[in-house]
Amino acid sequence: MDVADEIKGIIGKILKIDPEALKADSRLSELEADSLDLIEIVYSFEERFDITMELEARESSFAVKMKYGGRVQRVEFNTVGEIIDVVQQIVDQKVVG
């Protein structure tokens, strides 16, 4: 199973929806994820991939502080596709590091 499928599996498990139904452009807000769901999802990523995610949740937007494009910045993720991208990047940085 690749990282993308695992991420979808985790999101589906916590939001109690079929991971197959998650599309890259599915928005977290449309999936009715509340702030508690989000921190649980992030926690599950950290546990599964042994990474640390600096979550910055603000009203109606979710983001992590991470190294991106050579510098540390706030990277928003509001769709399943963006989550997969962010987690994949952090996992890759860990492997490189």
Partner 1 sequence: MHRVVVTGIGVVSPVGLRLEDFWSALVEARSGIGPLTLVPTDRLNVHIAAEVKNFDPAAHFIDKQAHLMDRFAQFAVVAARSAVGDAQLEISDPLAVEMATAVGSGMGGGSTIDDSLLKIYGQGASRLHPLTIPRLMVNAGASHVSMDLGLKGPTWAVATACASGTHAIGQAFHMVRSGQAPVALAGGAEACLTLGGMKGWEALRVLSQDTCRPFSKTRSGMVLGEGAAMLVLETREQAFSRGARIYAEVLGFGMSADAGELTAADPDGGARAIRAALKDASLSAGSIDYINAHGTGTDMNDRTEAQAIYSVFGNRAAHVPVSSSKGVLGHSLGGSGALEFAATVLALHTQTIPPTANFEAPDPACALDCVPNVARRAPIGVAMSNSFAFGGLNAVLVAGRA
Closer to partner 1 by Cβ: residue 16 or 71 = 16
- The residue within the footprint of partner 1, chosen from 39, 88, 89, 91 (CB under 8 A), is 39
Q: Which residues of 48-76 are buried (b: 16+ CB within 10 A; e: fewer)?
A: ebeeebebeeeeeebbbebebeeeeeebe
Told to check if 16 binds partner 1 by CB under 8 A, we report: yes
CA gyration radius, the chain = 13
Indicate whether 96 belongs to the interface with partner 1 (CB under 8 A): no
- With beta carbons less than 8 A apart as the criterion, state whether 51 and 60 touch: no
Specify the residue, 25 or 47, whose C-beta has the smaller distance to partner 1.
47
Distance in Å, CB of 35 to partner 1, minimum: 10
Q: Is residue 40 close enough to count as binding partner 1 by CB under 8 A? A: yes
